Amino acid sequence: MTDSHVQTSKFLSYILRHEPHAIGLCLDDQGWAPIDLLIEKARIAGHALDIAVIHEVVTGTGNEKKRFALSADGTHIRAVQGHSTTSVSIVREARQPPDTLYHGTARHFLAAILVEGLRPGQRHQVHLSANETTALEVGRRHGEPVLLRIDARKMHVEGLCFFQAENGVWLTEHVPAIFLAQ
């Protein structure tokens, strides 16, 4: 992705995950926003967006994280997970997870996590990965990374629900500490 695309992706993440009202945009309860309205509201707020750049950020090469989705008719966009705004509650079907999932965190959070488990913080759900590499990359964002293994099979058997976003990220409400290992 070009620097322009990275900046657009960051702007879209901010607006579509956390602060749609910062530009006067309202998301529906599934997180969708009309693209033409997004472009107009962004322009009024001083951010230049256009349909081609939005489509490239969503579907283009270099977008392995796939943070956004377009509606089937291509007229709406949403963030696929990571919302902190209370107006969005994406409905997903519960799925059976792989036996083991992973979470990357910074070492300075580890002591609290081992006592309290993983909590969503300001987001709606805890984000988990099916592979170690991705989890460690996430952990590096906040300091020296630590990889946690989650016994997802046992959680699932005990009735805790898992969901999967369109980009492959696994989601759950909370991971109690008894299901965590280093």
pLDDT digits (tens, 9 = 90+) for 112-144: 999 999 998 877 789 999 999 999 998 998 899
Domain stops at, among 79, 112, 133: 79
Strand (E) or helix (H) holding 17: none
Which range of residues forms the domain containing residue 167?
A: 100-181
Domain stops at, among 50, 79, 108: 79
Q: What is the pLDDT of residue 135?
A: 93
Gap between the Cα atoms of 108 and 47, Å rounded: 36
Q: What is the pLDDT of residue 58?
A: 87
Gap between the Cα atoms of 106 and 137, Å rounded: 10
Task: List own/partner pairs for 91-95 with CB under 8 A and 24 or more apart.
Answer: 91/30, 92/163, 92/164, 92/165, 92/171, 93/163, 94/161, 94/162, 94/163, 95/162, 95/163, 95/164
Q: Are residues 110 and 174 in the same domain?
A: yes
Gap between the Cα atoms of 24 and 42, Å rounded: 9
pTM: 0.65
Please check whether residue 111 lies inside any domain of the structure. yes
**Average pLDDT by stretches of 10, the chain with 182 residues:** 81 90 87 92 89 85 73 90 68 90 95 94 87 92 94 95 88 95 93
Q: What is the pLDDT of residue 178?
A: 97
Q: What is the pLDDT of residue 96?
A: 95
- What tokens does 143 get? 């300091």
